[in-house]
Structure 1
C-alpha cells in the first residue's frame, strides 16, 4: 500500500489565504472515555457547583510527577554562565581547526569527527566548517578505508544526513530490504550472548528504534559519557560536548520555567481538575524537534500549542457532552466565546484561556511575522472540529470499512498537520510565507508523518482501548475489511507503518523539496522521530513515568564537571 495516495484526494484547491482540506485533526486519537448517552447534562448553573463530572473524571488521568520542580529552578552552574560561554568559544575554535585540517588528518578521521559531532549535538556549531570539509573530502580516494568510513562517506555524499543508514530505504529497494531483515535477525540472535557494554546498548537501541529514527538530543548525554569511558574522542571535542551540554541545559531550564509559569498563570488545573498536567512532557517532546538555543521562541510557542491541544482533548475526552462539544466547536470556529452561554463555566474558561494564549503568541512575533497567526488559528479550529467529529463517530458506532477509508480521515486526527504548522510559527525569517503555504497544503511529507503516528498510536493504544469505548482504529477497520483476527490485523498495520516510513524517506530525499530550507524540512523529520519515540513500545506521553529518566537526564541531572 502507498499510504500517501490514500489522502491525496482529500486535499482541495486553496483559497487566497490557506488551502482548505477536509478531515479531522486531533493531536492524538482520544479514547472518548465518557462520550456516550450516559453523560449527564450540566444543570446546576454557571458556578459549576453540583457539576459532578468535574469530580467523577479527575481520577482518569495520572497526576504529574514533577509538581513545581521546574518553577523558578536555580541551576548552580548559572552563575558561571559567562565563563562557560567564553570557554566554549575557545574550544569551538580548536574543533573548527580540526575539521578544516586537511594536511595533518586523513579524510577518514575527518568524516568520523563529523559523525561524532552530529551524535553529540555539536554539528549546529560548525555548519560552515562541515560543509567546506565535505566539499574537500568528496573527491578523496577511499581505497584502503574501512567499510564503516566508506559508508559514512556514502551517506554524506548521497545527500542523506549522517545518521541515515539502510533504514532510509524507499519503495522498491529490494537489496536494502534484505539487508535490514538479515541484520535484524543476526542482531537479535546475538543479544543473549552479549555482555553489558556500549556496543550491546547500541544494538538493543537499534533494534528498538533504528538509528536514523532516533532523537539525537535524547541520547546526547549518554554518548558523551560513553565516549569518555571508551576514550574514543579527542579530549577537546569531549570537553566541548560537555560544556555545550551544560549550556544547553541552562537554556532549556530557563525556557521550561517560562512555560511552567504560563501554565500556572492560565490556572487550568484548578478550573479543569481533569486536565492533564503534562507541561514537562510537552516541552520534552518539543526539545526533540529543535534543541538548539537559537530556536528558543519556537520551542516555547510549539510547547504552548501542544499544551492547548491537550486541554481541548481532555474536555472532549472526559468531560463534555456531545451537545457541549458541538457548541464549543462553533465558538472556536467563530473565534468568539460570546456564543458559549450554554456551556459550563469551566469550558467557557478554557475558551477564554485559549484565545488569550494565542494573543500572547502573537505578541511574541514581530510585526512582519504576524501573518503567521491566521495559519495557526486555522489549524487550531480544525483540531477542535476533528475532536467533535470523533465524538459523533463514537456515538454512531461507525467503523470505516477499510484501512484506506479510515486513513483518508483519521490520519488527520494525528495532529501532525497542526504540529507541523505550529513548529514554524516561532522560527526566524527562514520560515517564509511560502513555507507556511507549503505546510498548510499538507504536503506528502506531512501526510506520511501523519500516517506513521496514526498507525503507531493505534498499535500501542489498541489493547488498552478495547477495554473502554473508543473511536474505531485502523486495526478495527483492517479486521472488518479482511475478516481476520486482531493478531493478524496488528501485524499488517505494523507492515503498513514501515511502508509509510518509506513514503516519508522518499519525500525527504525528493529533490523537489529543495525549494524549501533544510531547517524547515528538518523540523518535519524531527517531528517524525519524536513521534516514533513517544509511541514506540508504549504510549510514553500518556504514561509519563516512562519519560522520567529522559527528563531527568536532560533537565535535572548534575552538569558535567569540566575545568573553566
Structure 2
C-alpha cells in the first residue's frame, strides 16, 4: 500500500509538472511587439534550471531578439543598465557574436562606470555578471548548483512568477530523486568490485566520480549515458592510480601492451599485482558494448528499420548468401519488395534488385530536398530519421549487421570505445617513464602528453556514447581529431589541477607538473610558475568562449558536455583538489544536490 501511494504521488507530481510546463511555454510563445519583455523570463528560466524543457521556444525568442536588436554585432536598444547587461549575457550564452561596446554608454569620459550607477544594485549585479563574460566562460557555474542556489534567491524576489517557481522546485526534487537512485546503483556496483580491499592504493572516490558526471549532464534523458560515463570514470580512476602510485615500470609496460592488444587472454601474461585492474577494464567495456547493442535493439527506430524500410538503403540485396533477404526467407517471413515485384511483373530477381536500387536513389533525392531550407520542421527533428537512414546505409550495406551483430557493427563499436582509451594509456605510460627516469620534460612536451593523460578527451568521447541517435559519425570524428575547443579544455583543466594538487602529487611521487617544468626550463620561482599557469588558464577560457560562439563546429549539445567538465574543474579545483580531498565545497555540494530537497 505504501509503495502504491508513493507511485500515485509521483504520478501526481509528474502531472503537475506537465501542467506547469505548458503554462511557462505559453509565456514564451505569447505574441508581443517587444520580445525584450521576455529577457528576464528567459534569464529566470535558465538560472532556475528548467530551460532544458524549453530549448526550442527560448531559441526562437533569442533569434528574434538578435534579428531585431543587434546590428553589425552591436546591441541597439535604449534601456536601463540591468536590461542591457542581462541581454548581453544571454546573447553570449546562446552563442551570438555581440560586442560589449553597448556597455560604454554607462561609462564616463575617463572610461569608468558612472558613480550614479552605484545606487542601482540590480544593474550593478547584472553588469558584474555580464563583464565576467568578456574574458571568461559563458557561464562557469554548474547548472544544478546554480539552480539550487537561485531557487531560494528567486523566491525572495517580490516580483517572482509563482508558476515558474513551483515548476523549478518540483522539477529539481524530481531530478534529485532520479540522480539519487543512479548514484545508489553505481555505488552498489563499485562496492561489489570490492576496490577498497583488493586495490587499497586506489582513491575511493566513486561518489565524487558520479557527481562529476552529473555536472556533465543532469537531464533525465541522459540517465543511461550517466551510467556508462560513471563506470568508465571509476575504472579509469583505478587505471590512473595504478600508473601513478602502484605499478613498477616493468609491470606498467606489460599492462600498456595488454591494453593495446585488448584481449582477455592477456591476463595470462600479467603479474598478479595488475591482473585485476586489467580484468575490470576489459569486463566494463564488454558490458558497455553489449549494452549498446541491446539498447539499439530496443530502439523503435531500429525496429522500424528492420520491419518496414528494407527498400530504403543502397546495395541492400547484393549478396544473396549473407544478406537479410536470404536469412528472412529461411526463417519464414512476409514477402519482401523483391518477391512482390517478381510476382507482380513476372521479372527476375536481378530485375527486382535493379528496380529496388532505382527507388532507393529516388528516395534519397526526396530526403535531400526535404532537408533544404525552409524545412517543414526544425532541423534537429529531421536529423533523427536522417541519422537512422545513414545507420542503415552503413550497417546493412553488405549484410544484416543488426541480426548478426559481429563484423562491422562490433568493429565500429570497439573502435569508438577503445581507441581513445588506448591513447590515454599511452600517455600514462609516457609519464610513468618520465617519472621513473627522473626526466623533466619541456613545457611543450608536458602539455602535449598531459592534454591526453588528463582524460578530458576520453571522457568527452565516452559522454557521447549514451546520447542516442543525435550523435553522428562527424561528431566523433571532430572529437577524436584534437579540436581547439577540447585542447583548450584539456590544458586548462590540467593546469588548474597542477596548481591545486601539486604539493600532494609531489609528496606521493608523481611526474613533474607544469610548475616544475616551467621552473626548470626558465629557472623561475614557484610563484612565477603559478602566475604563468593562471595566465594560460585565462587564455584557454578565452579560446573555449570563442569556440562556443556561432557558427559552432558541432551542435551546442556536444560542446556543452566538455564545457561542463571544464566548469566542474573551475568550481572544485579553484583553491584545492576537492576531488582527492573531498571535504568542504565538494561535500556541501553533494549534500545540496542529492540529499536536501527543495522545500515546496
TM range, normalised to the smaller chain? 0.7 to 0.9
Residues 362 and 551 (structure 1 numbering): CA distance in 2 closer, same or farther, change over 3 Å?
A: same
Contact 1:329 1:388 in 2 (8 A): yes
Contact 1:406 1:474 in 2 (8 A): yes
Which residue of 52, 55, 72 corresponds with 1:124? 52
Which residue of 77, 80, 83 corresponds with 1:149? 83
Contact 1:275 1:315 in 2 (8 A): yes
Q: Which runs of 5+ in 1 are unaligned?
A: 1-73, 170-174
**Alignment partner, residue 231 of structure 2:** 304
Task: Report the TM-score, using the length of structure 1 for normalisation.
Answer: 0.74
**Alignment partner, residue 525 of structure 1:** 563
Answer yes or no: is 1:539 the counterpart of 2:466: no
Which residue of 515, 529, 544 corresponds with 1:475? 515
After alignment, is 501-510 or 250-259 more displaced?
A: 501-510
Answer yes or no: is 1:115 the counterpart of 2:43: yes
**Alignment partner, residue 389 of structure 1:** 430
Measured in 2, the distance between the counterparts of 1:420 and 1:94 equals 35
**Aligned-partner SS, 1:511:** coil
Contact 2:95 2:548 in 1 (8 A): no
Measured in 1, the distance between the counterparts of 2:249 and 2:212 equals 31
Measured in 2, the distance between the counterparts of 1:373 and 1:130 equals 38
Which residue of 31, 35, 40 corresponds with 1:102? 31
**Aligned-partner SS, 1:544:** coil
Which residue of 426, 431, 439 corresponds with 1:398? 439
**Aligned-partner SS, 1:538:** coil
Residues 510 and 87 (structure 1 numbering): CA distance in 2 closer, same or farther, change over 3 Å?
A: closer
Contact 1:272 1:346 in 2 (8 A): no
Deviation of residue 504 (structure 1)? 1.9
Larger helix share, 1 or 2: 2
Which residue of 5, 10, 15 corresponds with 1:86? 15
Contact 1:108 1:145 in 2 (8 A): no
Task: Report the TM-score, using the length of structure 2 for normalisation.
Answer: 0.70
**Alignment partner, residue 553 of structure 1:** 592
Measured in 2, the distance between the counterparts of 1:551 and 1:233 equals 27
Measured in 2, the distance between the counterparts of 1:210 and 1:279 equals 28
Higher relative contact order (CA 8 A, sep 6+): 1
After TM superposition, what 4+ stretches of structure 1 lie above 6 angstroms from structure 2? none
**Aligned-partner SS, 2:548:** helix
Which residue of 221, 225, 229 corresponds with 1:294? 221
Superposed CA offset, 1:484-513 (max 9, x none): 111111111111111111222222226251
Measured in 2, the distance between the counterparts of 1:158 and 1:486 equals 36
Deviation of residue 133 (structure 1)? 2.4
After alignment, is 538-547 or 312-321 more displaced?
A: 312-321
**Alignment partner, residue 288 of structure 2:** 361
**Alignment partner, residue 5 of structure 1:** none
Contact 1:271 1:346 in 2 (8 A): no
Deviation of residue 459 (structure 1)? 1.2
Q: Which runs of 5+ in 2 are unaligned?
A: 70-75, 297-390, 392-408
Deviation of residue 283 (structure 1)? 0.9
**Aligned-partner SS, 2:504:** helix
Measured in 1, the distance between the counterparts of 2:150 and 2:112 equals 23
Superposed CA offset, 1:73-120 (max 9, x none): x9x9766211111000010111111112234x9534311110111111
Superposed CA offset, 1:163-189 (max 9, x none): x997xx9xxxxx9xx9xxx999x9xxx
1:23-34 correspondence runs (5 A): none
Deviation of residue 434 (structure 1)? 1.4
Superposed CA offset, 1:306-359 (max 9, x none): 111101122222322211111111111111243344644352122222111112
